[in-house]
Amino acid sequence: MILFFNPRATRPKNRRYPLSILAIAAMIEGKEEYAIVDGNLEDNPQSSIEEVMRERPARLLAVTVMPGPQMKACLPVCRWFKQAFPGVPIVWGGYFPSIYPDTALNASYVDFVVRGQGEETFVELLAALDGDRKFTGIRGLSFKDDFGLHVHNPERPMRSPGDFPVMPYHRLDPAKYLLPSFLGSRTAVHQASIGCPYQCNFCGVVGFSGSREKMEPPAHTGHVLGMLKRDYGVNAVQFYDNNFFMREDQARELADRLTPLQMNWWCEGRVDAVLRYSDDTLRKIRNSGCVMIFFGVESGSNRKLQEMKKQITAEQSLELAARMRQVGIVPEFSLIFGDPRDSESDFNETVAFARKVKNINPDVEIIVQTYVPVPQRHGEMYGKLDNFEFPTSPDEWATDRWFRFAMRKDPELSWLPPELRRKIYGFETVMNARWPTIQDWRLPSWGRVMLKSLGSWRYAFGAFDNPVELRWAQKMVRLKQPRLESL
């Protein structure tokens, strides 16, 4: 019996299907018994795991781990499990162990790490545990040898998600996962591709996928979403792809397959890729249900974009903002603040670019991020940073300092002094008040009007310092929202 554990990563209202767990479970569906403990669902996942182990002792605990909330949630459970069941190996997979395999293996309770796309690696690991226990030939696997040294096998070539079995959604209660969002009343999630072919040197996906991407055929995407609609009443979907749009012909076919499903959907895309599409293709995408697309714009400075290896220009982002307005798709533009070389002028420059974007298309939603380094195969975004080292253990990653770092929330960075962090936070607060996001579907109309009014003067005069009245108003509006059960 295999026990899968998805540590808590989000609030209950944002709970979605744990795709990483379901993708691996699909590989052993009908071949081996397994159980799933979802920390996003369970108030006490340790108790649930203990109950499973009493009734049907597992021979392996498989944990998916992201930095931030999942890291903090999984460590006490994994420590307890190793003490309670020392003979049962623990394997970590997912984003964190894929880019920090040595750090993960430094934990005494982690026996194996599955790096990158884990479906085939996991199956081969099970076979080795059942057989000769020789792990050196399993691509994508890291482990400790008999002397405690870390062994990292060669990487496994990625495959299209469409090559693998459909996820066993029937193993989980859909009522717990198909929850309301701004897209629809029963929102599912789906990942139609894995990886990204670009080499942006601030992005952790590069370390995860090695600048490679594999997409499933549009027919497969349509088949899975059609099944979710037919069997579970799904009427909206969020695509978890790092880079949803590539070839225009594939985008057109996908739009044709999604249109009959009448689902609203959200995804991530590249500025230059979508900009190459014809107006007719963009209209087809919108008519197929696309409501919003997230774009990693990152900067309004072409010099910085070159340093980031983004392979786009600021002018392209402005042009895209105008075209999205014409077709009625809401763009999300992420902007990165905090150039270590001159973070103050970087703030002013980035704010000026955000104003340009809003003048062209007021519907563009600005996503504020601060630059934090990630491990890269070919160096950091701004070169080697002095006096900066990543933690070498999961326990350190779970401390308050590195939790904030992973979440990009008030991170302790030498090049981002407290007064500048407050200005960035203030800018974000003013933008969110002046233009409340359409994603906050619970926000009442009167609340939107109030926030816009309060935020207008600050935005007009660039008064981003300490907007206490906006934070108070945002809190008050949310306190007065109706409970989910009454909607």
Strand partners, 189: 238
Q: What confidence score (pLDDT) does residue 13 get?
A: 86
| pLDDT value for 484 | 31
DSSP symbol at 179: B
Using 70 as the pLDDT threshold, list the residues of the chain that sit under it. Answer: 376-387, 479-487
Fold (topology level) of 178-385? TIM Barrel (3.20.20)
Decide if 202 contacts 257 (C-beta within 8 A).
Answer: no
Could you tell me where in the chain the CATH 3.20.20.70 domains are found? 178-385
pLDDT of residue 308: 86
Two structure tokens written together for 137: 């030939």
Measure the CA–CA gap between 273 and 267, rounded to whole angstroms.
Answer: 14
Given this model, what pLDDT does residue 415 score? 83
Report the half-sphere exposure of 227 (CA within 13 A, side-chain side): 12
- pLDDT for 197 equals 86
Residue position matching structure tokens 């008040």 = 433
The residues, ordered by sequence, that sit 6+ positions from 44 with a Cβ below 8 Å of its Cβ are none
Per-residue model confidence (pLDDT) at position 105: 97
- CATH 3.40.50.2300 boundaries in the chain: 2-152
Q: What's residue 487's pLDDT?
A: 26
Q: What is the pLDDT of residues 291-341, one digit of tens each?
A: 999 999 999 999 999 988 899 999 999 999 999 999 999 999 999 998 888
- Of the candidates 252, 270, 251, 271, the residue with the CA atom closest to the CA atom of residue 196: 270
Position 405 scores a pLDDT of 85
**Residue 285 token pair:** 């995408």
Which pLDDT does position 385 carry in this prediction?
Answer: 66
CATH number of 2-152: 3.40.50.2300
